[in-house]
Amino acid sequence: MGQYLPIFALLVLAALFAAISFVASRLLNPPRPTPAKVSPYECGIVDQTEPPERFPVRFFLIAMIFIVFDIEIIFFYPFTLVYAELGGFGLVAIAIFSAAVFESFLYLISNGALDWGPAKRLRRSRLASMPARTTRSTIRRVGTEGREVPAGEAA
């Protein structure tokens, strides 16, 4: 483990540097928070929900597909070090292994697991096929109680 001693030393030094500069900044300018300063960066009204609640499921898919490839790479590294001893057997084995991983990769791609962005073809708005849905039938008007309703606008 002696080979890792310098790495550990630099780890300690880097962490110390970060900690000391943090303390120095605290001493030089202690935080004086106000409600406006500590509110989240937002253009307009602050959101009522917590942001980490949900994000697109595609990101989870990417993480899972990455694990498949990471495992493939992890098997490649030892192979690169011993391929000379393995000879033809190793070549066939790595070809079969790569084909197996690549095949699952093709399955993912053909099912659109790695497609991003808007759908390729723009679909017609469904409103066009539903004449019953108009702004009058879909928008709820509030605050009209006891007021004169203009002719022709009765819901």
Partner 1 sequence: MDPLLSGGIGLSEILIVLLKVVVAFAGLMVGVMAMVWFERKLVADMQNRIGPNRAGPFGILQTLADGIKLFFKEDLQPERSDPFVFKLAPYLALVPAFLVFTVIPIAGNFSDGQDGVVTLFGHETLMQVADPQMGILFVLAMSSVAVYGVMLAGWSSGSKYPLLGSVRASAQMVSYEAALGLSVATVLLFAGTLSTNGIVASQAGWRWNIWMTLLVPFVVFVIAATAELNRPPFDLVEAEQELVGGFHTEYSSIRFALFFLAEFMNTVTMSAVIVTLFLGGPSGPIPSGAPGWVQDFLLPLIYFFAKLLVFLFVFVWFRATLPRFRYDQLMDLGWKFLIPLALGWFLILTAIKVARDQGWNPVVAGAVAALAVVVGGLLLRSSIRAAEDKDFDAVDPADLDGAGA
Interaction residues for partner 1, span 19-38 (CB under 8 A)? 21-22, 24-26, 28-29, 31-33, 35, 37-38
Chain positions 93 to 122 lying near partner 1, rule: CB under 8 A, are 94-95, 98, 102, 105-107, 109-112, 114-117, 119-121
- 140 is an interface residue for partner 1 by CB under 8 A: no
- 125 is an interface residue for partner 1 by CB under 8 A: no
Tokens of 40: 């989240």
Burial of 147 (0-12, 13-18, 19+ CB in 10 A): exposed
Minimum CB separation of residue 155 from partner 1 in Å reads 13
As a whole number of angstroms, the distance between CA 15 and CA 10 comes to 8
Chain positions 57 to 76 lying near partner 1, rule: CB under 8 A, are 59, 62-63, 65-66, 69-70, 73, 76
Report the half-sphere exposure of 105 (CA within 13 A, side-chain side). 12
